[in-house]
Amino acid sequence: MLALHQLFKTTEGRILSLGIALALTGLIVMGLIALWSPQISSMMGAMSFSNLIFGRAVSMSIGYANGYSHALVVPVNIWVETVEVLLFYPVFVFSMRKLVEFPRLRRFLDRTQEAAERHHDKVRRYGIAGLFIFVWLPFWMTGPVVGSAIGYLLGFPAWLTLLIVLTSTYIAMGSWAYLLFDLYTRAAAFGPWAPVLIVVLTMLIILVSYLLNRRGNSHKISE
């Protein structure tokens, strides 16, 4: 295992440093906004948390359902997913190379590796375009985190993996923003309860998808 200061001198270590800096900057900005508008800061926190737990669909839905525009919803979600990729990718690479052990993240890293290996051959067939589409698609266990793991398994340089993953993520974010904002604008015409109902239904769909996916994977392992 490399010493901590040596790790931060590697390409992945610099990416990790950038991710930490970006995460702290966002938290500081959120704290400063709280001095001016606690309500907006709370919404930023709620969207950030829901993105990490349920994904961008729920996070952006919460923002739009509460009457916020693209100007707040999109940057917050871009920040969260960018930080997520910049922190996850180097940790995943360090773990794969056996440079550092992350006991508390072991299960998460193992599940991500399994998902990446499961989709590896499909993505490899189309190379860069395959990885781009994989990250863009709004299906379970696709997206930037698993996409960055696949980029590493495909042997792409770190800069290329991050470029593909983040570019695809931002384009996907724009697509979600367009669709969800229009949906919630139309739903608001039915009454204040309609946007809330859509958020709840979205969360239920994601939870059911997660449970079905987990059950399917458990069944495959038992076979």
Can you give the three-state secondary structure of the chain, one letter per residue? CCCHHHHCCCHHHHHHHHHHHHHHHHHHHHHHHHHHCHHHHHHHHHHHHHHHHHCHHHHHHHHHHCCCCHHHHHHHHHHHHHHHHHHHHHHHHHHHCCCCCCHHHHHHHHHHHHHHHHHHHHHHCCHHHHHHHHHHCCCCCCCHHHHHHHHHHCCCCHHHHHHHHHHHHHHHHHHHHHHHHHHHHHHHCCCCHHHHHHHHHHHHHHHHHHHHHHHHHHHHHHC
**Torsion angle of the four alpha carbons 19, 127, 149, 45, in this order, in degrees rounded to the nearest 10:** 50
pLDDT of residue 221: 41
Check residue 3 and give its pLDDT: 61
d(CA 170, CA 165): 9
Instruction: Quote the pLDDT of residue 219.
Output: 44
The pLDDT of residue 181:
84
pLDDT at 160: 95
Which pLDDT does position 107 carry in this prediction?
Answer: 82
Output Rg (C-alpha) for the chain, integer angstroms: 18
Q: What is the pLDDT of residue 122?
A: 79
pLDDT for residue 222: 43
pLDDT at 171: 94
- How many residues does the structure list for the chain? 223
What's the confidence (pLDDT) of residue 47?
Answer: 95
Distances in Å between the Cα of 41 and the Cα atoms of 30, 152, 183 are 6, 35, 24
Contact 82, 173 (CB under 8 A): no
Give the pLDDT confidence score for residue 49 in this predicted structure.
Answer: 93
Which pLDDT does position 84 carry in this prediction?
94
Alpha-carbon torsion (83, 87, 90, 96), positive or negative: negative
What crossing angle do the helices spanning 106-124 and 70-96 adopt, rounded to 10°?
Answer: 100
Segments of the chain scoring below 70 in pLDDT: 1-5, 138-142, 188-189, 191-193, 195-196, 205-223
Q: Residue 30: name the closest of 94, 88, 79 by CA.
A: 79
Q: Report the candidate in 89, 156, 94 with the shortest Cα–Cα distance to residue 120.
A: 156
